[in-house]
């Protein structure tokens, strides 16, 4: 079945700098890739998603890139702010499968 690997497991950046989180997936049929943000003790919240018919998607300070050939996708956060501190999860899914397969998560800390 699908396997999603996420790196790094922890990431610490200075406020205002950029943060990049990378994920690889194993099933070439996967074609939907959402990213979730989970603050301590709170629910995972969808922050951005991308479908396989596009290579990049942006929403203000957040962007996601997808390389289907290499089977990896990345989350880019620019001009980081303290409120960006959280655990971020990538996930993958495909047609015919009702489930999302999640990565192990990245704990992002923004240092003031």
Partner 1 sequence: ETGVTQSPTHLIKTRGQQVTLRCSSQSGHNTVSWYQQALGQGPQFIFQYYREEENGRGNFPPRFSGLQFPNYSSELNVNALELDDSALYLCASSQESSYNSPLHFGNGTRLTVT
Restricting to residues 42-71, name those near partner 1 by CB under 8 A: 42-46, 49, 51
Whole-angstrom Cα distance, residue 57 to residue 18? 16
8 A C-beta contact, residue 2 and residue 99: no
**Closer of 17 and 59 to partner 1 (Cβ):** 59
Q: Is 93 in the site for partner 1 (CB under 8 A)?
A: yes
Binding of partner 1 at residue 21 (CB under 8 A)?
no
Torsion of CA 57, 18, 81, 64, to 10 degrees: 20
Q: Which residues bind partner 1 (CB under 8 A)?
A: 4, 6, 31-32, 34, 36, 42-46, 49, 51, 89, 91, 93-105
């Amino acid at each position: 079945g699908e396997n999603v690997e996420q790196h790094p497991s922890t990431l610490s950046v200075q406020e205002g700098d950029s943060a990049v989180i990378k994920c690889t997936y194993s099933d070439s049929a996967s074609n939907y890739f959402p990213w979730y943000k989970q603050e301590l003790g709170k629910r995972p919240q969808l922050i951005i998603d991308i479908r396989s018919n596009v290579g990049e998607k942006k929403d203000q300070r957040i962007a996601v890139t997808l390389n289907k050939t290499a089977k990896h996708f990345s989350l880019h956060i620019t001009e980081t702010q303290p409120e960006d501190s959280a655990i971020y999860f990538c996930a993958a899914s495909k047609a015919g499968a009702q489930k999302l397969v999640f990565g192990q998560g990245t704990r992002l800390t923004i240092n003031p």
